[in-house]
Amino acid sequence: MSEEISNLKPDGESYPVVKTEEQWQKDLSEFEYHVLREAGTEPAWSGELEKGENLTYSCRGCGANLFTSNEKFDSRCGWPSFWSPLAKDAIIEIADTSLGRLRTEVRCANCGSHLGHVFAGEGFETPTDLRYCINAVCLTKAE
């Protein structure tokens, strides 16, 4: 995708956390900035995400709680997979046609950072039949 993420939600409202591009670049590493603020993707199987029970994962960009280890599952796709976000209002889903086909992008509802994509109907035996395929670099263990 490699597009710069705006400080405005698709509906034109501002995200609760707004930073200048200079602030984002100061707060994030070059790679983190590329994925979170330019909608990049980390290579499959390259990301590290703390494992364990009853963990909460937050947005690396703003610290908002997004997912928990209770909804995490092994989809064998190379990226952390969740069958549901922590709360529906924790994320925003946006139509993405950047690869010439329709996908659904997932962004943090608090700061607008790109997290990954959500896919439906892949046949995983999860309660929602959804796979939130999230870049590990976008998440950090909540304190």
Query: By percentage, how much of the chain surpasses pLDDT 70?
Result: 98
What residues of the chain score a pLDDT lower than 70? 1-3
Q: What is the pLDDT of residue 141?
A: 95
Architecture of domain 21-141: Beta Complex (2.170)
Any idea where the domains of the chain sit in the sequence? Answer: 21-141
> Does the annotation mark 133 as catalytic?
yes
Nearest alpha-carbon partner for 24 in 63, 57, 64, 62? 62
Per-residue pLDDT, 24: 96
How does strand 81-82 pair with strand 130-134? antiparallel
pLDDT for the residue numbered 116: 97
- The partner residues of 93 in beta bridges, in order of sequence, read 106
Residue from 62, 108, 111, 133 carrying the catalytic annotation:
133
pLDDT at 3: 61
* Tokens of residue 136, six digits: 């590990």
**Number of Cβ atoms within 10 Å of the Cβ of 92:** 18
